[in-house]
């Protein structure tokens, strides 16, 4: 090898290196790939010695058009790739969720929203609120029921005489004095054979304690239902032995065919209530099943296919709220529910006149905390009258609790003596059935 070439090579090695060229980076999302320093170009010198394969290669600082990856400069962030995949998956799920939400929203838009009583004024059968100020404002089939319940509101015939001394001892200074005719010797409800007055008093005292506790603790509507209202209904209807019973119907939707409709043709948004008082017993069940087989219709008697209500005709519907709950919402829910109920009764009725307007009035109850109020619903053919009457009692006191129990028993008696005969004639088509037993 020539001395001149060796000397030039040594000089090149001892010369301080120049600043490396700016590295070029490519960015792919959050992954950075370092392209490093370019490879040396092939020699363009005319010196044949530089092309000799035995020569030591030179370090060139010129930029080549060919690039190589310098993986030692900065590692590839594979964890970022995983996060990118997760982000991509999340974006995909978000798009799917948005699509589902849009689909659900479109589904909801297929029904007319029902936010308040004003929404029901444009229904195909408008619901009108009526306040009963005179006896003439009451439908004939519930007039006697109303006056019996009004007597209970006044405290008449609400307490078994044998329990009266204990009740008087349990009263606080905040309780009013019981009515002079508060005690009864003969049970006012014909289908109750007997009452255990002392056991009933214990139930009443528990209901009062739970009512006060729920009010003080500001519990939810579900807690009111389970700790107070369920106990009240149990205590009131247990003596009827299943002839009249109550059921939690918070998961009982109105069937599509019975949903009331807006004047535009859209079905109104479905509403559910909390409890129903129903007719029951072996004979009632048999008559209902015979009717449904005869008509070959949908196999349930009410406007919902909730299993406990398949063969038990609804007599009274109950909507509950907390003490601060909205009366407007309660009335709206009951109105939609009872409109669907009338639609089902109308479809089962036997004559053209009955098909226009159902000829029976349906009692309704609105409960706010411990306060129970009585309403009626009447089908007029061109609409529904929601009739407001009286607040009966509050279960936060012993006397108030006895008033509510008496009211519920009057309603059960009405269901047996008035509602069932009407259903037998217009719905069940079985004149040989003597009645619920």
Q: Record the pTM.
A: 0.73
Predicted local confidence at residue 183, as pLDDT: 96
pLDDT at 422: 94
Q: What are the C-alpha distances in Å from 347 to residues 126, 186, 263, 340, 357?
A: 18, 41, 20, 11, 11
What are the Cα distances from residue 309, in Å, to 81, 279, 293, 296? 57, 10, 17, 18
Tens digit of pLDDT at every position of the chain (437 positions): 556 666 666 666 655 555 555 545 454 444 444 444 444 444 444 444 444 444 444 444 444 444 444 444 444 343 443 444 444 444 444 444 444 443 343 344 455 566 666 667 767 788 899 999 999 999 999 999 999 999 999 999 999 999 999 999 999 888 889 999 999 999 999 888 889 999 999 999 999 999 999 999 999 999 999 999 999 999 999 999 899 999 999 999 999 989 887 766 677 777 899 999 999 999 999 999 988 887 666 789 999 999 999 999 999 999 999 999 999 999 999 999 999 999 999 988 865 454 578 999 999 999 999 999 999 999 998 899 999 999 999 999 999 999 999 999 999 999 999 999 999 999 987 544 445 65
Q: Would you state the pLDDT for residue 4?
A: 64
Sign (positive or negative) of CA dihedral 312, 316, 317, 322 = negative
Structure confidence at residue 320 (pLDDT): 98
Residue 269's pLDDT is 77
pLDDT of residue 49: 40
pLDDT of residue 223: 98
For the chain, give every domain's residue range. 27-38+67-95, 123-428
CB atoms closer than 10 angstroms to residue 328: 12
In the beta sheet, which residues pair with residue 160?
184
In angstroms, what is the C-alpha Rg of the chain? 41
Helices 398-414/230-237 angle, 10° precision: 60
pLDDT at 40: 47
């Amino acid at each position: 090898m020539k001395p001149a070439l060796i000397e030039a090579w040594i000089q090149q090695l001892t010369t301080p290196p120049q600043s490396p060229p700016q590295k070029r980076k490519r960015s792919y999302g959050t992954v950075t790939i370092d392209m490093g320093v370019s490879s040396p170009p092939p020699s363009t010198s005319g010196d044949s010695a530089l092309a000799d394969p035995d020569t030591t290669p030179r370090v060139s600082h010129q930029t080549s058009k060919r690039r190589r990856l310098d993986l030692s400069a900065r590692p590839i962030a594979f964890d970022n790739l995983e996060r990118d995949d997760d982000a991509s998956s999340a974006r995909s799920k978000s798009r799917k969720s948005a699509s589902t939400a849009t689909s659900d929203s479109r589904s909801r838009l297929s029904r007319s929203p029902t936010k308040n009583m004003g929404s029901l004024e444009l229904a195909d059968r408008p619901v009108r609120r009526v306040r009963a100020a005179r006896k003439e404002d009451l439908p004939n089939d519930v007039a006697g029921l109303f006056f019996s319940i009004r007597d209970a509101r006044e405290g008449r015939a609400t307490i078994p005489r044998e329990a009266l001394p204990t009740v008087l001892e349990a009263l606080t200074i905040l309780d009013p004095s019981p009515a002079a005719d508060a005690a009864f010797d003969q049970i006012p409800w014909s289908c109750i054979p007997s009452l255990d007055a002392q056991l009933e008093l214990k139930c009443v005292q528990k209901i009062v304690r739970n009512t006060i506790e729920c009010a003080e603790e500001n519990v939810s509507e579900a807690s009111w239902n389970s700790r107070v209202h369920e106990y009240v209904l149990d205590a009131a209807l247990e003596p009827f032995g299943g002839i009249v019973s109550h059921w939690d119907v918070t998961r009982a939707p109105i069937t599509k065919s019975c949903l009331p409709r807006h004047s535009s043709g859209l079905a109104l948004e479905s509403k559910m209530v909390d409890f129903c008082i129903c007719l029951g017993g072996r004979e009632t069940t048999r008559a209902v099943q015979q009717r449904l087989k005869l008509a070959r219709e949908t196999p349930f008697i009410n406007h919902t296919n909730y299993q406990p209500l398949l063969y038990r005709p609804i007599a009274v519907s109950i909507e509950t709220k907390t003490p601060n709950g909205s009366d407007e919402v309660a009335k709206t829910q009951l109105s939609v529910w009872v409109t669907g109920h009338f639609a089902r009764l109308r479809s089962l009725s036997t004559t053209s006149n009955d098909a226009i307007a159902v000829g029976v009035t349906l009692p309704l109850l609105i409960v706010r905390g411990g306060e129970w109020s009585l309403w009626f619903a009447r089908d007029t053919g061109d609409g529904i009258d929601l009739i407001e009457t009286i607040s009966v009692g509050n279960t936060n006191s012993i006397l108030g609790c006895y008033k509510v129990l008496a009211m519920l028993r009057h309603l059960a008696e009405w269901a047996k003596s008035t509602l069932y005969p009407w259903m037998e004639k217009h719905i069940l088509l079985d004149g040989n059935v003597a009645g619920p037993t």
